């Protein structure tokens, strides 16, 4: 599904985020930035060992050895990926919705988009952040992701945003939610 929002393109598709040729792809990272499972592990494997070294540098130099806070975003090169850059963001672990998970998830999308725009990029691909091992319910995550992205695109001339979804079921959820979000705006 492809739609236009304020002259920007928003696209939903199933696929492999490591194969996307947008200027940046977003990594649903853990706070250590040292790789992990799911999307994070797939991106690290596809990018090669240089990505891990870059993440270590970011952690040492920008984060002063601390973990990347949930909802924040940092950037590295993409190395062996088709995308020139990887924007790393830490999604919230779902704990029932009582620990600001919704706001933290919205921050992941907002801060990643803002970082890409600040760096002069015009295209970015997102996974469905936090809906894997972090157990954020896809129904709720899709509403938060798409409302945040649509709101951002309504306020900025950005370019092209792609949501890369893991399964056909996730795609159908996001497609239904996108129609609702567009009707509301």
Determine what percent of the chain is predicted with pLDDT higher than 90: 96
Cα 136 to Cα 11, 19, 105, 121, 140: the distances in Å are: 22, 24, 9, 28, 8
Q: By the 8 A CB rule, do 123 and 159 touch?
A: yes
User: Looking at the whole model, is its pTM more than 0.95?
Assistant: yes
CA distance 156 to 114: 10
| Predicted local distance difference test score (pLDDT) of residue 172 | 98
As a whole number of angstroms, the distance between CA 94 and CA 69 comes to: 15
Angle at 19 between CA 25 and CA 83, to 5 degrees: 40
**Other beta carbons less than 10 A from residue 132's beta carbon:** 17
Residue 90 is predicted with a pLDDT of 97
Could you tell me the fold of the domain covering 2-184?
A: 3.40.220
Query: Over 90: is that where the pLDDT of 30 sits?
Result: yes
Which of 79-108 are b and which e, b meaning 16 or more Cβ less than 10 Å from the residue's Cβ?
Answer: bebebbbbbbbbbbebeeeeeebeebbbbb
> pLDDT tens, 118-166?
999 999 999 999 999 999 999 999 999 999 999 999 999 999 999 999 9
Kindly name the residue from 16, 40, 151, 183 that is annotated as catalytic: 40
**Tens-digit pLDDT profile for residues 76-119:** 999 999 999 999 999 999 999 999 999 999 999 999 999 999 99
Domain boundaries, the chain: 2-184
pLDDT band at 32 (very low <50, low <70, confident <90, very high): very high
Is 151 among the residues known to form the active site? no
For residue 69, how many other CB atoms are within 10 A of its CB? Answer: 13
State the DSSP code for 19. Answer: G
Taking alpha carbons only, the member of 126, 97, 151, 181 closest to residue 11 is 126
């Amino acid at each position: 599904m492809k739609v236009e929002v304020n002259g920007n393109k928003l696209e939903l598709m199933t696929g492999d985020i490591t194969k996307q040729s947008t200027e940046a792809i977003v990594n649903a990272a853990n706070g250590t930035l040292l790789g992990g499972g799911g999307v994070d592990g797939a991106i690290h494997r596809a990018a090669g060992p240089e990505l891990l070294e870059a993440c270590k540098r970011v952690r040492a130099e920008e984060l002063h050895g601390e973990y990347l806070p949930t909802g924040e975003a940092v950037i590295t090169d993409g190395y062996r990926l088709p995308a020139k850059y990887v924007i790393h963001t830490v999604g919230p672990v779902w704990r029932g919705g009582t620990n600001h998970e919704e706001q933290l998830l919205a921050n992941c999308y907002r801060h990643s988009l803002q970082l890409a725009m600040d760096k002069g990029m015009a295209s970015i691909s997102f996974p469905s952040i936090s809906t894997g091992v972090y157990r954020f319910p896809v129904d709720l995550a899709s509403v938060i992701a798409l409302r945040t992205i649509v709101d951002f695109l309504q306020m900025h001339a950005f370019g092209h945003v792609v949501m890369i979804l893991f399964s056909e079921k996730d795609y159908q959820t996001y497609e239904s939610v996108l129609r609702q979000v567009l009707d509301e705006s």
